[in-house]
Amino acid sequence: MFSYTTGGPFGLEDMVTTSGPGMTLVYLLVLPLFWCIPVSLVSAELTTAMPVEGGFYRWTRAAFGGFWGFLVGWWNWSASFLLGGAYAVLFTDYLVYYFPNMTWWEHYLISVALIAVLTWINVRGIQAVGQVATALEIFIFVPVMTMIVIALVHWHHNPFTPWTVPHQATYKIFGVGLALGLWLYSGYEQLSTVAEEVENPQRAYPRALALVVPLSMAAYFLPTLAGLASAGNWEKWHTGFFSDAAGIIGGSFHGRPWLGTWMTLAATIGFVALLNSTILTTTRMPFAMAEDGYLPQALTRKHSRYGTPCGWRLWRRR
């Protein structure tokens, strides 16, 4: 769940130069109170009440009817093609840092190979996906935590200054920053699509969400606070600047920014983690829609773990 909703601090850097350091830190702390915490509470309650494959798609269908349920499922599944392709391409883009002479066809083959490998892992089942996701997150957070510790020891700047970007349009300070913050704190309902495959989902989902939400807040806020306090240079914060900040904070070893290189590798692995969990959650959507008659029946399986043709139909008969 954490792998899908957060994965790491990478991707929020543009908030700093759009809204300002102070507003960025406030957004990262305040937005969860009005966005991801309510969404996670709703997800926990509905997953407990309806632990069925397809999750929020079937919640929508049960509440508002087939038309709106179909639109939710179809839009989510359609978006997954763009997300999956984007994560694979971004992974290979970061590899160019290590292999600058990579050709376009090598870039393409690596992206396709990554999708193929993660698809094979997902075919093996949800437990294999979870094990890979856990290993990837551990790999990601070791350099992030290292950067936080070193940066806090070398605190040189006020991370809240300036509060907003000078001479910036109001809609950019509040609107664009808000949009980025909402994107960062989204996806807490997505893991409901595999609820039927989780052992005791009524207990597992509320506990997982109770842990993931504060962990996500810490994963965004602490590296940003530490980076601004130590590295400064808020005007240069754009996508990928966490690697530059880590290079400034960690210094050089034999002429190379060891922490910056390590952070770049962590960002690369972060895209692998995102793609891995995206494949897990979005591939259940066409299956659930096929069971409900919206897609070809070839996409369904014969029996669910409940021993019936579909856990959704079992729930509806209760």
Rounded to two decimals, what is the model's pTM?
0.84
pLDDT reading at 317 higher than 70 = no
Q: Cα separation of 227 and 248, whole Å? A: 9
Quick one: pLDDT band at residue 300, thresholds 50, 70, 90? confident
Total number of domains in the chain: 1
Q: What are phi and psi of 253, to 5 degrees?
A: -135, 115
Looking at residue 280, which CATH number applies to its domain? 1.20.1740.10
Quick one: pLDDT band at residue 305, thresholds 50, 70, 90? very low
Tokens of 45: 């309650």
Q: Cα separation of 247 and 241, whole Å? A: 10
Closest CA to 272 of 79, 137, 77: 137
Question: Is 98 exposed, middle or buried, given 0-12, 13-18 or 19+ CB atoms closer than 10 A?
Answer: exposed
Per residue in 152-183, pLDDT (tens digit) is 999 999 999 899 988 888 878 888 888 888 88
> Would you state the pLDDT for residue 65?
92
The SS3 of residue 53 is strand
pLDDT reading at 314 higher than 50 = no
Domain that holds residue 235: 2-317
Per residue in 73-85, pLDDT (tens digit) is 999 988 888 888 8
